[in-house]
């Protein structure tokens, strides 16, 4: 394999594995369905492999379930094989196709043993290999026998003694049969989403091909920064659509473009939280806001040594954990990715979904990954046999990703839970979650008045906190409960014509807390027990920390 100077890092890794003799079989996974810039064009992975790495190979075969076995280059060489006449047309069925290649390789090995070795290297590219040897059918005899044949290409003679390379292409490594995916003689190479250099090259080509989609007075530097995490294929589709419509891509829609393209690539596994708020919009202890502001300032300055890998926001239901994430994102000026339901009923699919999420998150650059209801979402180290070990596997993948030090300053994890005691201790340890913050309800009538006044202003009802503090307001009021109360006040004001203060007095007369007090206090105790710093806890509630100590 000879590589051009501009070849991407993944191609260089493949070439090193082959030329050094360390590997002859390669699993390519990750961003394998994308387009790759090559000679002014954007080509699929098969053609990129052929052009970048396989120019010196005399025979190159390809296989996928739709098209069957085909010859990409070197048909005349294959035609010299006497056994081909017995077979007839090249097969589409996977077992027959892999057996044909295996028989041909054994034929080459026999020629070599007889001293009649044919010159030239042979390569096979198998696209969508997870479709023919899926992890979900690892116990199936037919599938396992096919996996054994593919595995033999990587580690058994005579295949390892021939100038033969095989490239197995899969979207997600977790979707592939473990006999292949976990084989020690296989080199697993992840194809990343395009970096800034690739995006610049692609945009330069697209400007030439589709000038109507671009502002000729503006260069691509800002657009490249705005499109981190977007695939070349998605970008190409967007530009073609805009050029056809005669609409230019401008700064006003960069954020929306990235959001829509990345969410589309993720297939519904993630979504973005847009935020125009800052920590000025969040009512909390001064110590808490001061700490978070310091961290965000360090992040903006690029001083990462004191920056936490992640936060845990814990506290009773309704205390504004998601709202605080929005405020923090606005303060930092970074996108927030929220994990949706990535669990799937099929074996290996959930792990594959997580692989895809991690790949997209890494490509985004600086971002926050938000996991709501973390006690339910993140899995457990040992969930018993009820889910065939799925929960434990997901737990392991997430734990490994959260502790990846290369992500410090690039990816910040935020977990939110009202039952933080149910989150595995290992996931909450320093190095994964460095700062644990309890979000607690109000402790005085004055605090309740300030919170309720702020929420009433959203409904255009102006009542001064001092005026509200003279009423019998409840304490242990959460933002969720206060918002529900503000909605009731607004409803009475609009439907019965009552003045805002009179409407509030009527609502307070029959007020009941939405969460029973014993449940509220239990969730407060476990949140306070998790606190990284007692300064995050209001003085009136610090006695609960002593009560919760074992």
Tokens, residue 504 = 């509030």
Sign of CA dihedral 396, 401, 403, 406: positive
For residues 312 and 415, is the Cβ–Cβ distance under 8 A?
yes
Please provide the size of the chain in residues.
550
Residue 126: Cβ-neighbour burial (10 angstroms; 0-12, 13-18, 19+): buried
For residues 109 and 122, is the Cβ–Cβ distance under 8 A?
no
- 3-class DSSP state of 58: strand
- Other CB atoms within 10 Å distance of the CB of residue 182: 12
- Residue 136 CA to residue 158 CA, distance in Å, equals 30
Strand partners of residue 181? none
What pLDDT, in 10s, does the model give residues 75-133? 999 999 998 888 888 999 999 999 999 999 999 999 999 888 888 899 999 999 999 99
CA distances from 538 to 288, 426, 476 (A): 10, 27, 12
Q: Which CATH class is domain 272-438?
A: alpha beta
* Residue 524, pLDDT score: 93
DSSP 458: T
What pLDDT, in 10s, does the model give residues 318-355? 998 989 998 888 888 788 888 887 777 665 678 888 88
- Residue 421 CA to residue 173 CA, distance in Å, equals 33
Domain residue ranges of the chain, discontinuous segments joined by +: 9-191, 196-266, 272-438, 445-509
For residues 459 and 486, is the Cβ–Cβ distance under 8 A?
yes
Do the first three CATH levels of 9-191 and 272-438 match, i.e. the same topology? Answer: yes
Sign of CA dihedral 488, 493, 499, 502: negative
Sign of CA dihedral 139, 349, 62, 52: negative
Residues in the chain with pLDDT < 70?
A: 1-5, 255, 345-348, 382-389, 546-550
Closest C-alpha among 112, 67, 69 to residue 88: 69
Q: Which CATH number fits domain 9-191: 1.20.272, 3.10.450, 3.40.50, 3.30.1890?
A: 3.40.50
* Residue 549, pLDDT score: 45
* Residue 129, pLDDT score: 96
């Amino acid at each position: 394999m000879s590589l051009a100077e501009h070849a991407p890092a993944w191609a260089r890794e493949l070439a090193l594995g082959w030329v050094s003799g360390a590997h002859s079989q390669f699993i390519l996974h990750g961003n394998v369905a994308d387009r790759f810039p090559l000679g002014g064009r954007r080509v699929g992975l098969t053609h990129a492999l052929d052009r970048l790495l396989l120019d010196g190979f005399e025979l190159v075969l390809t296989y996928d379930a739709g098209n069957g076995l085909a010859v990409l280059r070197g048909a005349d060489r294959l035609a010299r094989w006497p056994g081909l006449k017995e077979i007839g047309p090249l097969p589409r069925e996977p077992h027959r196709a892999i057996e044909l290649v295996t028989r041909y390789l054994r034929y080459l090995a026999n020629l070599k043993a007889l001293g009649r070795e044919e010159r030239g290297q042979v390569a096979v590219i198998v696209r969508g290999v997870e479709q023919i040897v899926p992890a979900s059918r690892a116990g199936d005899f037919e599938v396992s026998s096919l996996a054994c044949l593919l595995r033999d290409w990587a580690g058994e003679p005579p295949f390892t003694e021939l100038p033969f390379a095989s490239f197995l292409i899969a979207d997600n490594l977790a979707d592939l049969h473990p006999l292949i995916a976990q084989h020690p003689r296989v080199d697993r190479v992840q194809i990343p989403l395009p970096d800034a250099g690739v995006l610049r090259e692609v945009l330069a080509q697209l400007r030439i091909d589709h000038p109507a989609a671009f502002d000729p007075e503006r260069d691509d530097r800002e657009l490249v920064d705005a499109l981190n995490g977007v695939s070349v294929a998605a970008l190409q589709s967007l530009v073609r659509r805009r050029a056809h419509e005669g609409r230019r891509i401008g700064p006003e829609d960069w954020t929306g473009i990235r959001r829509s393209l990345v969410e589309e690539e993720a297939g519904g596994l993630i979504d973005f939280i847009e935020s125009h708020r800052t920590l000025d919009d969040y009512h909390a202890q001064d110590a808490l806001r001061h700490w978070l502001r310091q961290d965000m300032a360090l992040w903006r300055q690029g001083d990462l040594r004191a920056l936490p890998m992640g936060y845990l926001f814990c506290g009773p239901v309704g205390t504004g954990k998601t709202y605080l994430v929005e405020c923090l994102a606005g303060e930092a000026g970074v996108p927030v990715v929220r994990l949706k339901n990535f669990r799937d009923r099929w074996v290996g699919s959930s792990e594959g979904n997580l692989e895809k999420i991690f790949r997209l998150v890494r490509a985004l650059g600086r971002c926050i990954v938000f996991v709501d209801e973390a006690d339910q979402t993140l899995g457990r180290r040992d969930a018993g046999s009820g889910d065939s070990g799925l929960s434990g596997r997901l737990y392991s993948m997430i734990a490994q990703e959260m502790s990846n030090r290369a992500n410090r300053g690039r990816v910040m994890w935020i977990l939110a839970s009202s039952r933080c005691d149910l989150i595995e201790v290992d996931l909450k340890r320093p190095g994964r979650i460095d700062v644990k913050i309890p979000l607690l309800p109000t402790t005085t009538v004055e605090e309740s008045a300030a919170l309720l006044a702020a929420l009433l202003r959203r409904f255009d009802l102006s009542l001064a906190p001092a005026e509200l503090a003279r009423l019998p307001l409840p304490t242990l009021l959460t933002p969720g409960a206060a918002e529900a109360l503000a909605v009731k006040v607004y409803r009475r004001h609009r439907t019965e014509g009552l003045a805002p203060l009179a409407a509030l007095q009527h609502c307070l007369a029959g007020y009941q807390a939405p969460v029973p007090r014993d449940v509220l206090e239990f969730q407060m105790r476990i949140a306070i027990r998790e606190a990284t710093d007692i300064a995050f806890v209001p003085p009136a509630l610090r006695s609960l920390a002593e009560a919760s100590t074992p």
